[in-house]
Amino acid sequence: MNSSIRPWLLAVTLLAAGCSTTSGVMVNHNIQHADYRSVYVVVHGSNSSDMDANLQREFFRHGFSVTVGPEGGSTSGAQLVARYADDWKWDIAMYLHTFDVMVYDSQSNVMVASGSWKNSTFHGFYSSEKVVAKVVDQTLAKIATP
């Protein structure tokens, strides 16, 4: 390979790696999954009200009966409890840096699955609605009963 091309190839490779987001789901294989149809979403309120709404909407879109409330609220009637963590950064405008959703069995409080998304080093300004949709889709696909 021409030695003058190598630095450019390296720069393009590093730039491409720095521009990619990551996401994934971890599932607790030690518990038996059920046909989940109801979820209690722990809401944050105030600064995160948009993310609260995004998460509620995504579970509803997947056919779940959704109830909401604060941490420690009554989860009676819900099979799952969904908690989330969102981290926002500033660069000319606010952008979503990370989003994690943790889904627990409401009776045992054992984590069923955890989905995560992380913006790239050279971040993009991704729609929070689309990020939440992606993470919830991936998470629910992993815990769905066959």
In a domain, 2, yes or no: no
How many domains in the chain?
Answer: 1
Query: pLDDT digits over 91-120, tens only?
Result: 888 888 999 999 999 999 999 999 999 997
In a domain, 4, yes or no: no
Helices (H), the chain: 6-18, 49-61, 128-143
Q: What pTM does this model have? A: 0.82
Q: Which among 46, 68, 70 is positioned nearest to 55, based on CA atoms?
A: 68
In a domain, 33, yes or no: yes
In a domain, 102, yes or no: yes
Q: What length does the chain have? A: 146
Query: pLDDT digits over 40-73, tens only?
Result: 999 998 778 899 999 999 999 999 999 999 999 9
In a domain, 44, yes or no: yes
Its domain, for residue 108, covers 25-143
In a domain, 17, yes or no: no
113: CATH: 3.30.160.670
In a domain, 43, yes or no: yes
The residue type of 64 is F
